[in-house]
Amino acid sequence: MENTTNLQIGLSKEDQARINSLKHVKVEKVTLTGWIKKANDFAISLSSIKLKDKVTFFQLLAVMINAGVPIIKSLYVLSDQTENPLLKEVIRKIAGKMEGGSSFSIAMGEHEKVFSESEKGMIASGEASGNLNDILKDLAHQAEKSAGIVAKVKGAMAYPLAIITIMIIALFLMLTIVVPQLTSIFTDSGKELPIATRILIGMSDFAKNQWGVILIAALAAGIGLMVFRRTKTGKYAMDYGILYVPIFGSLIKKLMVSRFARLLASLLKSGVPIVKTLEITSKAIGNEVYKKRIEYAAMDVSQGIPLGENLSDSGSLFPPMVSSMILVGEKTANITEVANKIADFYEDEVDNAVSTLSKLMEPVILVVMGASVGFIVAAIMQPIIALSDVSSSV
């Protein structure tokens, strides 16, 4: 500061003002750059990583390592060519951690929202055994399978949800716009209206006069469910409930069993001990009910009880066929192959269930739509026909 003051001695007031102005501009520029960087980081944090992106990442990393490219160099190359901004940032951070001496699995562990427990466990096993390349290929295959199954389940649920949403919107518009225009005609006639018409008019009055209450109640219910699900009790209750929803419940159970078997096979093949495998699988399964059950199984297995024997007492969560096959696999020291066969079987079952669900939902939706439209038409047409009869008799 003293040097700067000395340098400015002898300068004209105009020159000093110009220097101060340049300093001010520089400070503003630095501040603006900082805000832009923060905004950019926030935007990146809001983006998501699709399973397809992870499949590509694991596949390309396996190819590069197999070609002899060092893993840190491979990560920086993949970071440069990855299109997803969040994954790009994550890969670069992992490479930076590894340059600082961290292992791949530990560096991955700092990104829990991106990499699952099973993926981190398999990578750690691959590093310990020196078989990272094959592990990465297995991870890519597993992620690809999971992505395919999830896409099919979402596709099966998307159609009925879309139709139901359209029906609700159409019904609301009819109750608030169409029915009120006909209400005055019905009430002016002085005749007693049919019960269906009275119900329709009551629904219309409520929707028209209380639409704000309906909107607030819907938003409150949605936010309430989100908050409730974030609690331990809420997550368990909702995951338990979805397993016993008609039609969808059996599909979710098959999906959970296939995921359990696939994770079990992949982790055991990677050399992870069975107790550790069950602990990792419980965290990666994606359902609190199955998580608790698998944690209980891990405790029993650690005390010497066979996994197949433990799963035989799991109610409807694990079918008898699954526990019997795993028990045979344990006795023949071939549990990995048996678990893969179970996973293949239940993945096919999920495919068949999704196809059946799609075919079942179409007639169900048509019946519901027909009943709704029939009720509205009957409620509107009955008083109109009665009025026509009165006018024709006059």
Structure-block tokens of residue 320? 């008898």
Q: Is the pLDDT assigned to residue 338 strictly greater than 90?
A: yes
Assessment of whether the complete model's pTM goes beyond 0.75: no
Q: Which of 95, 114, 143 is the last residue of a domain?
A: 143
In contact, 143 and 136? CB cutoff 8 Å: no
Rounded distance, CA 13 to CA 348, Å? 83
Tens digits of residue pLDDT in 33-51:
655 555 555 555 556 777 7
Instruction: Report pLDDT digits (tens) over 132-182.
Output: 888 888 888 777 777 777 777 777 777 777 888 888 888 888 878 777 777
Residues 38 and 64 in one domain: no
Q: Which of 87, 120, 143 is the last residue of a domain?
A: 143
Identify whether 323 is part of a domain. Answer: yes
Same domain, 28 and 57: no
Task: Based on the fold, state whether residues 259 and 113 are members of the same structural domain.
Answer: no
CA distance 279 to 21: 62
Q: What are phi and psi of 12, to 5 degrees?
A: -75, 165
| Same-domain pairing of 271 and 216 | yes
Residue 9 lies in a domain: no
Percent of the chain with pLDDT over 90: 14
Q: What is the pLDDT of residue 39?
A: 56
128/162 same-domain check: no
- Identify the domain containing residue 102 by its residue range: 51-143
329 is a domain residue: yes
Does the residue 10 lie in any domain?
A: no
Query: Is 135 domain-assigned?
Result: yes
- 3-class SS string, 137-149: HHHHHHHHHHHHH
- On whether the CB atoms of residues 252 and 156 are closer than 8 A, the answer is no
CA 220 to chain centre: 21
What average pLDDT does the chain have?
A: 80
- CA 208/CA 177 separation, integer angstroms: 8
| Residues 121 and 265 reside in one and the same domain | no
DSSP secondary structure of 283-309: HHSS-HHHHHHHHHHHHHHHTT--HHH
Report if residue 5 sits inside a domain.
Answer: no
Confidence of residue 345 (pLDDT cuts 50, 70, 90): very high
- Please count the structural domains in the chain: 3
Is the same domain home to 162 and 289? yes
Of 2-11, 20-29, 42-51, the one with minimum mean pLDDT is 2-11
| Residue 4 within any structural domain of the chain | no
Question: The domain spanning residue 160 has which CATH number?
Answer: 1.20.81.30
User: What number of residues does the chain have?
Assistant: 394
Cα–Cα dist 330/260, whole Å = 16
34 and 177, same domain (yes or no): no
Contact 183, 209 (CB under 8 A): no
Distance CA 19, CA 191 (A): 89
Query: Which residues, at least 6 apart from 316, have a Cβ–Cβ distance to it below 8 Å?
Result: 253
